[in-house]
A and B are shown apart, each in its own frame.
Chain A
């Protein structure tokens, strides 16, 4: 497209300030809604995998019926030794993940997530903010995670005592997790032994076996060997994907967010499409005159595509700016707010904007291509 046509096209577009503003606003609104919804979705999905990502194990071994980290099927103790004997396994440790009930000083009860770390290695330990990780071995010791849910335990300091499942507990350290949890419960870390002593357990007590491989290339071999003894081994990323799919397709969360994203798309496309169509209609006779003068359909199509792309580009930029500001502000006020903007959802939003642009352009282009220059003569 030559620069002259581009200049004329942009001038035509921006000189009608009200329509131009409405067009940009329509796309901005659609981008904001779509980006916000998908950010929330990605944030929730990421939080749903916090139990896995915060531990940071290379390979997870579990019962083959496990669909997500919410359905823990305890593993027998002998499995730990069996896994340790598989070629390619550098080391393997058990981990306990469960829940307990803390009695608060005011007499109320608060559900908590309990993570029992292997006593010898403390594999999967959190990042310590206050205290010493080795104090976890002291009597009744628990380390509390200082996240958005921390206040629900009365913001306990080191040395604070509490009652958990009719046992005494002492806070010996304050930690932070890489990713906050999804379900709004505070998290307490202790040793594996103490966790299974304090909390009601089934006959088997290991939630997962965490494996580090000698080399990443041993993964497939370890998976096969674990499968032979009736269990399932998954890499961290595979486990994370499985959990995400569970939340997306088996909880209704995915469909709900998809519906809301669709609504935002329809709203954005309607506003942008209709305004753009009105803009084209207003100039239809002029486009007919241009055709008579000698503009080809190609020239006019390029003009319209440039105009709609320009609007979309601006709307995409403003939408991103407003949405990221909104999320940053919301996170300052609401620590639990889960939305995360990633390259993935920015790219997805860009695709949607391209779709809006294409649809809006298509409607206008159809009319412009159909206009006969003869109609200009006929008035």
Chain B
């Protein structure tokens, strides 16, 4: 099995002494290339914390995370930022698109952060907007797009720098059921490939069918694991 993510003994707590609350109590995890992994569980179970620790934006108190054989928490903050930029794509629950920029400009952002010349970045961003079916909406600002379209723009922004790992935080939370299913179906069939893995944190049981594997979390621990051979 070709692993893209390995993590072991992840512990994360917030607050100190009497106020200390454990969000992760020793989590081990792996993700292989070509896999769509879901992390599910009730609110406060630690799934978002786990996603943040794995994707290099929240430092664990204990344990390690290796992505593409790089132990990410041994990198300094600017190396880690660069690593995220080159290897991880993020899709946030509320999309976090800049409302005053066009869809195209929102997608361009990761590329300009990578110092790619504007014209090249524009061309590449258009290509990825085309992949998500929004090339003809490229010049519109996000507030003129539907929720589903905004999510697609966010996906285009996440994949435009061609990362190997994509993390989705509650991707369907702001969408109606049908649109949510369509988006995830699209991601599963058009975005996921053998050279990429996707981790999705979700509550939405309607999209469980699209997962290869589902981890159930409770109280900061993985309680069980279900394989979906779909």
Docked pose: A297 CA to B82 CA in angstroms: 11
Q: Which residues of chain A are near B30, meaning CB under 8 Å?
A: none
What 1/0 flags go to A283-300 for Cβ under 8 Å of B? 101101111111111110
Determine how close the nearest CB of chain B comes to the CB of A281; give it in whole angstroms. Answer: 14
Are A379 and B94 in contact, CB atoms less than 8 angstroms apart? yes
- Asked if A183 CB lies within 8 Å of chain B CBs, one says no
On chain B, the residues within 8 Å of A16 by CB distance are: 100
Residues on B with beta carbons closer than 8 Å to the beta carbon of A296: 77-78, 81-82
- Bound-state CA distance A293–B92 (Å) is 10
**Is B131 among interface residues, defined by CB-CB distance under 8 A?**
no
B169 beta carbon closer than 8 Å to chain A:
yes
Do residues B81 and A377 form an inter-chain contact, with CB atoms below 8 A? Answer: no
| Other A-B pairs beyond A295-B85, A296-B81, 19, CB < 8 Å | A8-B105, A11-B100, A11-B101, A11-B105, A12-B100, A12-B101, A15-B101, A285-B96, A286-B98, A290-B109, A292-B55, A292-B90, A293-B113, A294-B113, A297-B77, A374-B52, A376-B96, A377-B51, A379-B93
**Are B112 and A5 in contact, with the CB atoms below 8 A?**
yes
Kindly state whether residue A378 has any CB partner on chain B within 8 Å: yes
Interface string of A335-379 (1 = CB under 8 A from B): 000000000000000000000000000000000000011101111
Would A376 and B101 count as touching, CB distance under 8 A? Answer: no
Asked if B58 and A289 sit within 8 Å, CB to CB, the answer is no
Residues of A near B105 (CB, < 8 A) are 8, 11
Q: Is A167 an interface residue (CB 8 A)?
A: no
Instruction: Provide the bound-state CA to CA distance between A298 and B81, in Å.
Output: 11
Q: What are 23 inter-chain pairs, A to B, with CB distance below 8 A?
A: A3-B118, A4-B116, A4-B118, A5-B112, A5-B113, A8-B101, A8-B105, A11-B100, A12-B98, A15-B101, A285-B94, A286-B98, A290-B109, A291-B57, A291-B81, A292-B55, A292-B57, A292-B92, A293-B85, A294-B84, A294-B110, A294-B113, A377-B93
CB distance from A297 to the nearest CB of B (A): 8
Q: How far does the alpha carbon of A373 sit from the alpha carbon of B56 in the complex, in Å?
A: 10
Q: How far is the CB of A7 from chain B (nearest CB, A)?
A: 7
Q: Does A2 contact B (CB under 8 A)?
A: yes
> Would you give the shortest CB distance from A3 to chain B, in whole angstroms?
6
Q: Classify the interface of chain B: helix, strand, loop or mixed.
A: helix
Q: Which residues of B contact A12 (CB under 8 A)?
A: 98, 100-101
User: Is B129 part of the binding interface, using a Cβ–Cβ cutoff of 8 Å?
Assistant: no
Whether B4 is near chain A, meaning CB under 8 Å from some CB there, is: no
Instruction: Say how far B117's CB is from chain A's closest CB, in angstroms.
Output: 8
A residues 264-314 in Cβ contact with B at 8 Å: 283, 285-286, 288-299
With A4-B112, A5-B112, A294-B86 as known contacts, state yes or no: A289 contacts B78, CB within 8 Å.
Answer: no
- Nearest Cβ in chain A — how far from B118, in angstroms? 5
Across the interface, do A7 and B118 meet the contact criterion of CB distance under 8 Å?
yes
Most buried by A among B78, B88, B109: B109
Q: Which residue of B lies closest to A15 (CB)?
A: B100
Interface residue B214 (Cβ < 8 Å from any Cβ of A)? no
Chain A positions within 8 Å of B96 at CB level: 285-286, 288-289, 376
- Distance in angstroms between the alpha carbons of A79 and B137 in the assembled complex: 91
In the complex, residue of chain A having the shortest beta-carbon distance to the beta carbon of B93:
A379
Q: Count B interface residues, CB 8 Å.
A: 38
- 9 smallest beta-carbon distances between A and B, as pairs: A294-B85, A4-B112, A15-B100, A289-B96, A373-B57, A294-B84, A374-B58, A296-B81, A374-B52
Give Cα A295–Cα B110 distance, bound, in whole angstroms. 8
B48 within 8 A of A: yes
B residues 71-115 in Cβ contact with A at 8 Å? 77-78, 81-86, 88, 90, 92-94, 96-98, 100-101, 105, 108-113, 115
Query: Using Cβ atoms and an 8 Å threshold, which residues of chain B touch A11?
Result: 100-101, 105
Minimum CB distance partner of B58 in chain A: A374
Q: Is B121 an interface residue (CB 8 A)?
A: yes
Q: Is the CB of B100 within 8 A of A294?
A: no
Residues of A within 8 A of B109 (CB): 8, 290, 293
Which A residues are in CB contact (< 8 Å) with B115?
A: 2, 4
Are B98 and A283 in contact (CB-based, < 8 A)? yes
Report chain B residues within 8 Å CB of A285.
94, 96
- Which residues in chain B, 43-64, are within 8 Å of chain A measured between CB atoms? 48, 51-52, 55, 57-58
Q: Are A4 and B90 in contact (CB under 8 A)?
A: no
For B95, give the chain A residue with the smallest CB separation. A289
Contact check, A377 vs B86: say whether CB atoms are below 8 A apart.
no
Q: Which residues of the other chain, B, contact A5 by a CB distance below 8 angstroms?
A: 112-113
A99 shortest CB reach to chain B, Å: 66
**Nearest opposing residue in chain B for A295, CB measure:** B113
Interface string of A212-225 (1 = CB under 8 A from B): 00000000000000
Q: Is the CB of A377 within 8 A of B169?
A: yes
B112 and A293 contacting across the interface, CB-CB below 8 Å: no
Roughly how many angstroms separate A295 CA and B92 CA in the complex, as a whole number? 16
A374 to B14, CA, bound (A): 13
B121 nearest CB neighbor, chain A only: A4
**Which residue of the partner chain A has the closest CB to B111?**
A4
Q: Are A8 and B108 in contact, CB atoms less than 8 angstroms apart?
A: yes
Q: Known interface pairs A4-B112, A7-B118. Does A377 touch B48 (Cβ–Cβ under 8 Å)?
A: yes
Measured between C-beta atoms, what is the minimum distance from A282 to chain B in Å? 9
Residues B110 and A2 in contact, CB atoms below 8 Å apart:
no
Q: Are A289 and B90 in contact (CB under 8 A)?
A: yes
Which among B48, B52, B108 has the greatest number of chain A C-beta atoms within 10 A? B52
> Which of B82, B92, B121 has its CB near the most chain A CB atoms (within 10 A)?
B92
Tell me which residues across on chain A come within 8 A of B78, comparing CB atoms.
Answer: 296, 298
Bound-complex Cα distance A31 to B86 (A): 44
Contact A377 to B57, CB < 8 A, known contacts A4-B112, A295-B81 = yes
